[in-house]
Amino acid sequence: MKSQLLEILAVSAFSILTVSTSVAKTPVYKDSKAPIEQRVEDLLSQMTMEEKLGQLSQINSFNDPKWNVVLYQNIKDGKIGSIINEVNGKRIDSLQRMAVKQSRLGIPVLFGRDVIHGYKTIFPIPLGQAATFDPEVIAAGAHAAAVESSSDGIRWTFSPMVDISRDPRWGRIAESAGEDPYLASVVGSAMIKGYQGANLSDATSIAACAKHFFGYGASEGGRDYNSTFIPERTMRNVYLPPFESAVKAGAATFMTSFNDNDGIPASANHHILTDILRGEWGFKGFVVSDWSSITEMINHGFCSDAKDAACKSANAGVDMDMVSGCYLKYLPELVNEGKVPMSVVDNAVRNVLRIKFQLGLFEHPFISTPQTVKYSAENLAAAKQSAEESVIMLKNEGDVLPLTSGVTTLAVVGPLANAPYEQMGTWTFDGEKSHTVTPLNAIKSMFGKNLNIIYEPALAYSRDNSTEGIAKAVDAAKRADVVLAFVGEEAILSGEAHCLASLNLVGAQSQLISALAATGKPVVTVVMAGRPLTIGKQLDESKAMLYCFHPGTMGGEAIADILFGKASPSGKTPVTFPKSTGQIPIYYCHNNTGRPANRTETLIDKIPVEAGQTSLGCTSFLLDDGFDPLVPFGFGLSYGKFSYSGITLDKSTYSAGDVIHASVTLANAGSHDATEVAQLYIRDKVGSVTRPVKELKAFRRVALKAGESTRVDFELPVSDLAFYGIDMKRTVEPGDFTLWIGTDSNASLSASFSVK
């Protein structure tokens, strides 16, 4: 798609004022030893209005001979600050050469790309990475993505997405870290550290972009781009913490979101973009709009035209316009008319230049990372580890897994068993399916001729409604000792603008699992999807189930290792799985209501005819689906047999400034070495405003050999108990708390403490 900005540039390309070139011989801004702020000021002082607005404008790459004439001229005229979606390294270097060598001031272009979960080597989708609860593995994945993408000249990614999402109908839940503010903060910060490396100026570091600021994941009805209605306190307690953490982790850039919250589109929200982001959090990077999100405010009915939109966005604090062209076109008149102060433009330019200096683009504008980093053995190993840790075991009846003995014939069925493109998941622009290892291929190469594998996909793809192939799969199941059924979603069913009203398995997959189960053979179901699906029926019909959010390039090997016991599953659900879409939104850290469900309520099938009005229990539950979800947050089984006991706290009363030392004994009584994610939750019993029934505050991955036990220690600063209460100030309120440590959000082993 050609960007609107390119069209605007075409009109003005040859009508530029010639600027006299009285640049000093070695200007301060070219001195790599000078402090960055001095370099920024020096450069800013030499820039024309058009050059300034160029820095605030990003165009979409469009490689076409006619447009290239315009593009090249505009780069040389210093009117393009950033280009999105160019991935050809040679072209990037040649465009960069024009900017650096042929423009008046030699300001390098910043090339950006959606490198969301890997560039060439594809890692699990972010929701899957969140399921690892492993910040080191997540950072390693982001680092691999940075190394690979920088080898093509891409120095800016539009990741991490740290939107809290409690609605799996929303397709972009796939790109999120799920429902929890703490987990999303840890995941987002790990990604930022991985992308940006030790120094942003390293040739293999790329700038991160915390998005979408803010509230996007709460879009009404799970429909993408939709309005949100998040009040200030919920915004601060739930939706903003991952963004504040992103600032603390050093995120170079932020992106505004498409939604309007309570009537104010994010790209014109001064309170968020300026008061909070810059004022309260001290953010020094730059803010980019989302794709045309500035001019989309006309559709919102918030702006009368593109000029009005440019005015509102610039004044609110959006520094760079992604592809709409409205800054370049309208900011000159808006400044002349006094509607946008020149200081707003100058500050925005400062913010952009600061990041370009930090990236070292002025010193090393061209590609220096070797091409061999793509799909390197190191990156593939990191992707495999990430995929392996992301696998969540939801059921393992009778320890049917791992498949270590008694299997001589295996039936491999289902549309996802050998779907190299689909298992890469959403937002895979650059990964190639030819590099994907599918479960079928991984199992084949694991066993060679030592295992009789009957492969019958039954369905050509996940939405395939044809039931014709099911008979063959059933026949294969009958001849096999165990059935492995790979079902789920194609990549296109999740991600941006790919939302669903029903979360049941699509196509004839449900019939397939039922038919396989009816053979009486043990069915192990492996789900690959971009979101939690309502898979209660399949859970019942399967002996075991592995849930894999689209696991990426190395997913097949990772899954095979788990199925056959080379590794134990250790993933945990980063989001609550609903029984039905009617339960949505459903999340563990909800408030309690005045009439909490007590699980003794009468459900629909048990209601007597002509039951009395109040006879069912007047509590907060659904007549048909009760109260509990299908799978709670933080849940995931293991081949180890973990138990928790002996919870202790170092004190019973703490003061502000203290650190709570909590500890528990974790034992693995099983016969497999395994890793458990021990989770610490708290509840603030009485607050100046109602508080969630449980909040995740810490977690640790603990590896235990078979038969081993250990003390697991947590240190929780009392300051981490703070929240925005009745006076809208972040405070730790004195009072009583419960603290749990356990295997998931249903943890019951608890201790009590107070804060004075």
Residues annotated as catalytic (active site), given as ranges: 290
- Residue 148 has a CB neighbour count (10 Å cut-off) of 26
Residue whose pair of structure tokens reads 């009846």 in the numeric block? 397
Regarding 496 and contact with ligand NOJ (CB under 6 A), the answer is: yes
- Least distance from ligand NOJ to the Cβ atom of residue 682, Å: 33
Regarding 158 and contact with ligand NOJ (CB under 6 A), the answer is: yes
Rank residues 210 and 630 by Cβ distance to ligand NOJ and give the closer one: 210
- Least distance from ligand NOJ to the Cβ atom of residue 542, Å: 35
Rank residues 237 and 293 by Cβ distance to ligand NOJ and give the closer one: 293
Residue 701 vs residues 131, 186, 573: alpha-carbon distances, Å? 12, 13, 14
- Least distance from ligand NOJ to the Cβ atom of residue 322, Å: 7
CA distance 228 to 116: 24
Closest CA to 682 of 577, 588, 571, 593: 588
Preceding peptide of 27 cis, ω within 30°: no
Contact 111, 366 (CB under 8 A): no
Rank residues 52 and 211 by Cβ distance to ligand NOJ and give the closer one: 211
CA distance 274 to 1: 32
CA distance 350 to 500: 42
Helix, strand, coil in percent for the chain, rounding step 5:
35, 20, 45
- Least distance from ligand NOJ to the Cβ atom of residue 495, Å: 10
Closest CA to 486 of 421, 401, 414: 414
- Least distance from ligand NOJ to the Cβ atom of residue 217, Å: 12
CA distance 41 to 368: 28
- Least distance from ligand NOJ to the Cβ atom of residue 147, Å: 20
Beta strands in 87-133 (DSSP E): 110-113
Question: DSSP letter at 320?
Answer: B
CA distance 358 to 288: 17
Rank residues 93 and 496 by Cβ distance to ligand NOJ and give the closer one: 496
Regarding 286 and contact with ligand NOJ (CB under 6 A), the answer is: no
Residue whose pair of structure tokens reads 């005229």 in the numeric block? 77
The rounded radius of gyration (Å) of the Cα atoms in the chain is: 27
Rank residues 496 and 650 by Cβ distance to ligand NOJ and give the closer one: 496
Rank residues 495 and 692 by Cβ distance to ligand NOJ and give the closer one: 495
Rank residues 496 and 658 by Cβ distance to ligand NOJ and give the closer one: 496
- Least distance from ligand NOJ to the Cβ atom of residue 111, Å: 13
- Least distance from ligand NOJ to the Cβ atom of residue 718, Å: 36
- Least distance from ligand NOJ to the Cβ atom of residue 291, Å: 4
Count of residues that bind ligand NOJ according to CB under 6 A: 6
Rank residues 296 and 388 by Cβ distance to ligand NOJ and give the closer one: 296
- Residue 652 has a CB neighbour count (10 Å cut-off) of 9
Q: What are phi and psi for residue 650, nearest 5 degrees?
A: -75, -20
Which residue's Cβ has the minimum distance to ligand NOJ? Answer: 158
Please select the residue that binds ligand NOJ; options are 170, 243, 291, 327, rule is CB under 6 A.
291
Structure tokens at 668: 């693995």
Contacts of 395 (CB under 8 A, 6+ apart): 539, 542, 543, 544, 545, 637
- Least distance from ligand NOJ to the Cβ atom of residue 150, Å: 18
- Least distance from ligand NOJ to the Cβ atom of residue 176, Å: 11
Rank residues 114 and 744 by Cβ distance to ligand NOJ and give the closer one: 114
Rank residues 128 and 469 by Cβ distance to ligand NOJ and give the closer one: 128
Lay out the site mask for ligand NOJ across 205-244 (x = CB under 6 A, - = otherwise). Answer: ------x---------------------------------
Regarding 498 and contact with ligand NOJ (CB under 6 A), the answer is: no
Structure tokens at 149: 């993408």
- Residue 343 has a CB neighbour count (10 Å cut-off) of 9
Rank residues 86 and 290 by Cβ distance to ligand NOJ and give the closer one: 290
Based on DSSP, count helices (H) and strands (E) in the chain, helices before strands.
21, 26
Lay out the site mask for ligand NOJ across 369-388 (x = CB under 6 A, - = otherwise). Answer: --------------------
Q: Crossing angle for the helix pair 135-150 and 181-196, nearest 10 degrees? A: 40
Lay out the site mask for ligand NOJ across 87-116 (x = CB under 6 A, - = otherwise). Answer: ---------------------------x--
Strand partners for 650: none
Structure tokens at 133: 């609860």
Lay out the site mask for ligand NOJ across 159-198 (x = CB under 6 A, - = otherwise). Answer: ----------------------------------------
Lay out the site mask for ligand NOJ across 113-152 (x = CB under 6 A, - = otherwise). Answer: -x--------------------------------------
Please select the residue that binds ligand NOJ; options are 290, 388, 430, 557, rule is CB under 6 A.
290
Task: Please name the amino acid found at residue 653.
Answer: T
Any idea what the Cα angle at residue 168 is, between residues 162 and 174, rounded to 5°? 45
Rank residues 277 and 512 by Cβ distance to ligand NOJ and give the closer one: 277
| CA trace torsion 596, 599, 600, 604 (10° rounding) | 100
CA distance 589 to 594: 16
- Least distance from ligand NOJ to the Cβ atom of residue 357, Å: 23
Structure tokens at 72: 């090249």
Lay out the site mask for ligand NOJ across 509-548 (x = CB under 6 A, - = otherwise). Answer: ----------------------------------------
Strand partners for 517: none
CA distance 270 to 622: 40
Regarding 708 and contact with ligand NOJ (CB under 6 A), the answer is: no
Strand pairing report for 709-717 and 659-668: antiparallel
SS3 255: strand
SS3 640: coil
Binding site for ligand NOJ (CB under 6 A): 114, 158, 211, 290-291, 496
